[in-house]
Chain A
Amino acid sequence: MSSFDQQQEAIKRQFSSAPPASPVVSCPKGALTEQEAKQWFDDFKHREEIPWNYPNDCCYNRAHVMARELHAVGVDVGKVWNYAPSPNIGDFLRVATPNDPKGYVEWGYHVAPTVPVTDPRGQIHRMVIDPSIANTPITPDQWKALQGQPLSKLVATNASPYYRDQNGRAYAGVDPTNRQRPPTHEEVQAIFDRHRRARALNWIGKE
Chain B
Amino acid sequence: MKITEKEVRHVADLANLKLTEAEVARFQADLDGILQHMDRLNEIDTSGVEPMAQVLLGADPGATLRADEAVLPLGNLAALANAPQPGGGYFKVPQVIER
Do A and B form a real pair?
Answer: no
B residues within 8 Å of A by Cβ? none
